[in-house]
Amino acid sequence: MRPAQLQPIAAQAVAAAQKRLPHAVRTAAAQVPVCFAARPSQAIQDEGWEPDILGLFVGSAHGEESDEAAPLPPQILLFLENLWDYAGGDPETYRNEIRLTYLHELGHYLGWDEDEVARRGLE
């Protein structure tokens, strides 16, 4: 499937995941944009991330201030071609992987580790 076809499916999967969030989490989630890219940029890879990473949260976590001179705004990056490859080209698996990756990265935005994400039923 081509990247132009993957993005609408991903956007729908993220929107569906957001609707299922508890109200307080949904309110916080609305404050962080979700950006779609085919694959991680060279700059992301130069920071040490693997080229097959599925998603990434960048910026300061919710409620935290960055002390960097030029911080990136908080955002969730989803790498659609990597997710499609990881899903083995299966549309239903792809939707599920989008949901799981989004929730995982949202957890990072909220300052939660993987155990907290699981405890809250957001995996």
Alpha-carbon gap, residue 109 to 7, rounded angstroms: 22
Domain count, the chain: 1
Closest to 112 in 3D by CA, of 100, 99, 122, 101:
122
Mean pLDDT over 73-97 rounds to: 96
**Residue 67 included in any domain:** no
Residue 114, pLDDT score: 77
Indicate yes or no: pTM above 0.85: yes
pLDDT tier, 71 (very low <50, low <70, confident <90, very high otherwise): low
**H or E, element range at 76:** strand 75-79
Angle, helices 3-19 vs 91-109, to 10°: value is: 60
**Residue 21 included in any domain:** yes
CATH number for the domain that contains residue 99: 3.30.2010.20
**Residue 8 is part of which domain span?**
3-62+72-119
Residue 66, pLDDT score: 60
**71 vs 54, which has greater pLDDT?**
54
Residue 111, pLDDT score: 87
Q: Does the structure show a pLDDT above 90 at 50?
A: yes
Compute the Cα dihedral for 53, 30, 93, 12 and give only its sign. Answer: negative
**Residue 96 included in any domain:** yes
List pLDDT tens digits, range 12-48.
999 999 999 989 889 999 999 999 999 999 999 999 9
